[in-house]
Amino acid sequence: MAHEYVQTLIEPSQAHTLIDRAFRIAKSEHTVTCIIVPKDIQEKPMKAMERKHGAVFTGVGYSAPCTVPTDEDIQRAADVLNAGKKVAILVGVGALQATDEVIKQAP
């Protein structure tokens, strides 16, 4: 259920901003967003937003931030792995074409 971002399009000129914001929130929060477009608004012509003082324009595209673990987090993970006695390799569908390479990594 969309609850992070639910907006109703009141004027066709809002479409660009509302849709851009909805996508950014959905991608960054990994959630569902919702824009309600009433039938009467769907039938109205859309005019481009004027570039004037006070108008807000969003940028094109979205770049997700690169999250890097701290040295402590890496050391804690290494300690867990090094403490193990048995090795398990969990391979996802992304390695489907890399069967030989995965087998080479197995002890």
Contact 36, 6 (CB under 8 A): yes
Question: Is the pLDDT confidence value at 79 over 90?
Answer: yes
64 within a domain of the structure (yes/no): no
Q: Flag whether pLDDT at 107 surpasses 80.
A: no
Please name the residue that has the structure tokens 């807000």: 56
Which pLDDT band, with edges at 50, 70 and 90, does 93 fall under?
A: confident
Tell me if 89 is assigned to some domain: yes
**Residue-wise pLDDT tens digits, 15-64:** 888 998 898 899 888 899 999 999 999 999 887 767 777 766 676 677 77
**Per the domain annotation, does 94 fall within a domain?**
yes
* 33 burial via Cβ count (<10 Å: 0-12, 13-18, 19+): buried
| C-alpha triplet 96, 99, 104: angle, nearest 5° | 145
Does this model's pTM top 0.75? My answer is: no
- The total domain count for the chain is 1
Residue 93's domain spans which residues? Answer: 71-105
Q: What is the pLDDT of residue 59?
A: 67
DSSP 3-state of 34: strand
